[in-house]
Amino acid sequence: MTKKSTSKKSTRSFKIEFIEESDNRIMVLLRNIPVTMANSIRRVIISHVPTLAIERVFIFRNDSLMNDDMLAHRLGLIPLTTPLGKYALPEEAPDEEGSKPEYAELTLTIEAKDKPITVLSSDIKSKDPDVKPVSGDIEIVRLAPGQGIEAEMWAYMGRGKDHAKWSPVSVSVVRGLPVIRIKKTGCNKKCKKCVEACPKGVLAVKKGQLIVKDLYKCTTCGLCMEACPDIIKVSIDETSSILYLESIGQLRPIEILSLAFDEVIKKLDDFYSSLNEVSLENV
């Protein structure tokens, strides 16, 4: 699936191309956006995009072998679906009239009857249908017959810079655009050494010609170049960037990317305002 978005005319004409998009991952080509700049977006994705996570746990009953602190820690690490704009961000005042709610309430009430059971994230109940564990198969603790747990949890909005449980991604990577140059002469198409050397299947022989089948899979490992050094040259163009991320599930990948861009713009605006204030003071 490929989509294109082109900026208005500028001295640097940049493009954002969607190379891959699915329910939990996205890969975009940031053409004419250098790796150093794209890395700022990557860092914001990891540490500044806000999500919901359990922050306060009130345990009324815990008969399991796991102590209360460890149980609360495990509950806090369960990723929760996050409805955008519904709950107050850490910097927003929750006590203003008509403001967003400060937290989402969840409960865990379960007891093992005649046989041992494994408590799963699916056993957590939420008062808000938009807030629930991303996966129902996360194991929390095992209970022997007669043991039980009763707990109430409050989930707050937060950011990965404060704790990893608020980070919305499991992977966020930026790299330069691979460049593969193939000489048209001197290549014996029947040998296929370079094709077989590539672990990602980037190269192929089509209609008697050596071609690049999927450039974006290239990791620039150089194995194809080692196999055929006189035919293939591999390099990296760091004036353009490939940004790849995998969502944990709190937010859709496109939402994470959009929020990251908003955060970068906000930080640039704040920096510009602060710079103007300093300039005016020195006038």
Where in the chain are the domains?
A: 3-48+170-245, 51-166
Is 51-166 a CATH 2.170.120.12 domain?
yes
| Structural tokens at position 273 | 């305002």
pTM comes to 0.83
Spatial CB neighbours of 16, under 8 Å, sequence gap ≥ 6: 4, 5, 6, 28, 29, 30, 31
pLDDT in tens, 34-87: 999 999 999 999 999 999 999 999 999 999 999 999 999 999 999 999 999 899
> How far apart, in whole angstroms, are the C-alpha atoms of residue 236 and residue 51?
34
User: Which fold would CATH assign to domain 3-48+170-245?
Assistant: Gyrase A; domain 2 (3.30.1360)
Question: 79 with 111: CB under 8 angstroms?
Answer: no
CA 209 to chain centre: 38
Using pLDDT thresholds of 50, 70 and 90, give the confidence band for residue 97.
low
Q: What is the DSSP string of 40-53?
A: HHHHHHHHTS-EEE
Asked if the domains at 3-48+170-245 and 51-166 fall in one CATH topology, the answer is no
Using pLDDT thresholds of 50, 70 and 90, give the confidence band for residue 8.
very low
